């Protein structure tokens, strides 16, 4: 890193309730315990509840979810931070993905029922749950576990574990779809017992100062604390300022889908599970945040196994660009969540796709990643959206988009621009070389929407997990409004016809005007 460049990283306070505060709030609320039918409040699973709104404070509203893995029931708490004890309690269909201690307890049950060799690995597969509906209408929660046994005739097996009852279903219905007879990927998975969160702040303030001038000033949120609560959205950026001016209020990836071509199986992947990658440097605010002395390496960049010396978010500055990167796990998938901020104001969102050894990803499948960019250029409102079309001349033709719409990346469109109506400042959105065009399952490539705080994600995606963003396109005007842009990248993974390595990484370039 150049001597005239400073990367300043500082922990920042978070307005809202921590996961432990939410759990304590639930444990002291008779209505919560009654609905959950929870006998032991210590077993409740809760997520942090950040304050809602553009400029949250100690009086802001919050929404929190609390789940009982024993009764497989959840509630939502809606209240304000200054009086959380008066929160409204509502039943919820929320079912969190098994993580951390729940997976370790499930692995302990499994090892008690199986004589596994020392080299066997117990890992998290897809789908993450194989819940069982009982005759009385209740549903038993059962996390799934993958067993990789290199000594067995078939090296992989998926089972379901009822942690509360201490039982194992060795052939759970619906979780062992057609598998490839081979075994894919060179990286061995890390066992569920090995990955543990070592704490550290949920978010930091990052500033890039060059020759005494502040270029970038932003808040970075770790994947484990990213929104929406439950599934997360990878490394999340908030209140992004370039040379003192606000450009993005929020930027993240709320939707990530996988679809298999041969049998139609689909998954909605979560992005709040941080896994290990290689990063060398110092930790200025504690564990989970590393300022690197050389480029960090995720699974896409290293040839060894599914391991590393770091878990969280890494920063590296080189050649006029700050890289902000983390590696995520969702079952046997591994993802690179990456942002690159250039000295000239260019923003390069990037997302990479990889996996650990398993049978399923040998089959042809497509990944669909959906970024959400909440542009606040020179303020929240007064934005203008234009599409620039190829006309055969040197200068493309600008066409104003005045109403909410969805678009695909195809001729004559070359790029799009979001700008402030008064100042003219803004960003062009240039598609990446490997971003491809949406098929029927991918739905579209861009959505231009009027900002609504309730449209942070698509909600319940339904049985096929397809992105349901079209339901937000309801004819509202976006001319002079607060505009949110959703941008999708699509990657086809064919084990028998691998693309060049750079094809595993997608993402647009946001170029300042």
Where are the extended beta strands (E) located within 85-242? 88-92, 121-123, 132-133, 139-140, 144-148, 156-162, 167-169, 203-210, 213-221, 236-242
pTM exceeds cut of 0.85: yes
What three-state secondary structure class fits 62? strand
Kindly write down the DSSP assignment for every residue of 441-474, as one continuous string. Answer: TT--SEEEEE--TT-SS-----TT----GGGG-S
β-strand partners of 94? none
What three-state secondary structure class fits 209? strand
Q: Determine the Cα–Cα distance for residues 212 and 97; give it in Å rounded to an integer.
A: 45
Q: What's the pLDDT score for residue 10?
A: 97
Does the CA dihedral 17-20-23-28 come out positive or negative?
negative
Token pair recorded at residue 426: 């803004």
Mind listing the pLDDT tens digit for each residue in 85-122?
A: 999 999 998 899 998 889 999 999 999 998 899 899 99
CB hemisphere CA count around 279 (13 angstroms): 26
Using the 8-state DSSP alphabet, how is residue 11 labeled? E
Q: What's the pLDDT score for residue 498?
A: 60
Percent of the chain at pLDDT > 90 equals 70
CB-based contacts of 95: which residues, under 8 Å, 6+ apart? Answer: 67, 72, 74, 129, 131, 141
Question: Which class would CATH give 100-169?
Answer: alpha beta
Binned at pLDDT 50, 70 and 90, residue 182 comes out as low
Is the fold of 100-169 the same as that of 203-512? Answer: no
Q: What's the pLDDT score for residue 366?
A: 94
Mean pLDDT value of segment 14-18: 85
Mean pLDDT value of segment 225-237: 91
Q: What's the pLDDT score for residue 256?
A: 97
Mean pLDDT value of segment 146-173: 92
Predicted confidence (pLDDT) at residue 493 exceeds the cutoff of 90 = no
Place of tokens 């290990």: 276
**Considering the domain 203-512, what is its CATH architecture?**
Distorted Sandwich (2.70)
Mean pLDDT value of segment 368-378: 96
Binned at pLDDT 50, 70 and 90, residue 15 comes out as confident
- Which segment of 156-165, 222-231, 472-481 scores lowest on mean pLDDT? 222-231
Instruction: Find out whether 157 and 359 touch, Cβ atoms under 8 Å.
Output: no
Mind listing the pLDDT tens digit for each residue in 471-485?
A: 999 999 999 999 999
Mind listing the pLDDT tens digit for each residue in 289-329?
A: 999 999 999 988 876 666 789 999 999 999 999 999 999 99
- Which segment of 66-75, 137-146, 170-179, 448-457 scores lowest on mean pLDDT? 170-179
Percent of the chain at pLDDT > 70 equals 96
User: What value does the mean pLDDT of the chain take?
Assistant: 91
Q: What's the pLDDT score for residue 185?
A: 74
Place of tokens 């690995």: 121
Domain residue extents for the chain: 12-92, 100-169, 203-512
């Amino acid at each position: 890193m150049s001597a005239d460049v400073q990367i300043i990283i500082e922990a920042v306070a978070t307005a809202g309730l921590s996961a432990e505060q939410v759990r304590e709030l639930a444990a002291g609320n008779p209505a919560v315990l009654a609905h959950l039918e929870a006998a032991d409040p210590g077993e409740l699973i809760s997520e942090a509840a950040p304050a809602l709104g553009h400029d949250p404070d100690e009086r802001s509203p919050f929404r929190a979810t609390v789940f009982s893995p024993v009764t497989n029931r959840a509630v939502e708490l809606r209240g304000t931070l200054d009086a959380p004890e008066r929160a409204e309690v509502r039943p919820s269909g929320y079912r969190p993905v098994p993580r951390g201690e729940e997976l370790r307890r499930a692995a302990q049950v499994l090892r008690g029922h199986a004589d596994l060799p020392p080299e066997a690995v117990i890992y998290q597969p897809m789908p993450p749950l194989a819940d069982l509906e009982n005759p009385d209408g209740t549903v038993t929660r059962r996390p799934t576990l993958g067993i990789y046994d290199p000594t067995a005739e078939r090296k992989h097996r998926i089972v379901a574990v009822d942690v509360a009852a201490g039982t194992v279903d060795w052939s759970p219905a619906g979780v062992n779809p057609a598998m490839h007879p081979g075994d894919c990927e060179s990286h061995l998975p890390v066992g569920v017992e090995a990955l543990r969160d070592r704490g550290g702040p949920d978010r930091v303030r990052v500033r890039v100062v060059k020759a005494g001038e502040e270029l970038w000033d932003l808040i970075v949120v770790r994947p484990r604390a990213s929104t929406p609560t439950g599934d997360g959205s990878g490394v999340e950026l908030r209140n992004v300022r370039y040379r003192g001016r606000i450009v993005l209020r929020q930027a993240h990836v709320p939707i990530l889908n996988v679809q298999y071509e041969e049998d139609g199986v689909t998954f909605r992947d979560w992005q709040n599970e941080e896994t290990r990658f290689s990063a060398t440097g110092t930790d200025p605010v504690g564990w989970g945040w590393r300022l690197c002395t050389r480029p960090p390496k995720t699974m896409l960049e290293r040839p060894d196994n599914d391991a590393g010396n770091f878990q969280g978010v890494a920063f590296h500055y080189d050649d006029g660009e700050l890289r902000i990167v983390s590696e995520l796990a969702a079952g046997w998938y591994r993802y690179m969540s990456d942002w690159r901020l250039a000295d000239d104001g260019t923003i390069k969102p990037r997302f990479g796709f990889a996996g650990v050894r398993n049978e399923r990803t040998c089959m042809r499948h497509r990944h669909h990643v959906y970024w959400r960019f909440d542009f606040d250029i020179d303020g929240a409102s007064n934005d203008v959206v234009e599409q620039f079309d190829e006309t055969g001349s040197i200068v493309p033709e600008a066409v104003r988009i005045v109403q909410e719409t969805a678009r695909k990346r195809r001729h004559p469109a070359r790029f799009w621009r979001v700008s402030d109506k008064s100042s003219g400042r803004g960003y062009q959105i240039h598609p990446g070389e490997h971003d491809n065009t949406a098929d029927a399952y991918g739905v579209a490539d861009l959505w231009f929407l009027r900002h609504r705080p309730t449209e942070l994600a698509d909600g319940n995606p339904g049985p096929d997990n397809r992105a349901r963003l079209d339901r937000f396109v309801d004819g509202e005007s976006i001319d002079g409004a607060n505009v949110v842009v959703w941008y999708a990248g699509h990657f086809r993974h064919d084990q028998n016809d691998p693309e060049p390595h750079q094809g595993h990484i997608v993402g647009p370039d946001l170029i300042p005007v």
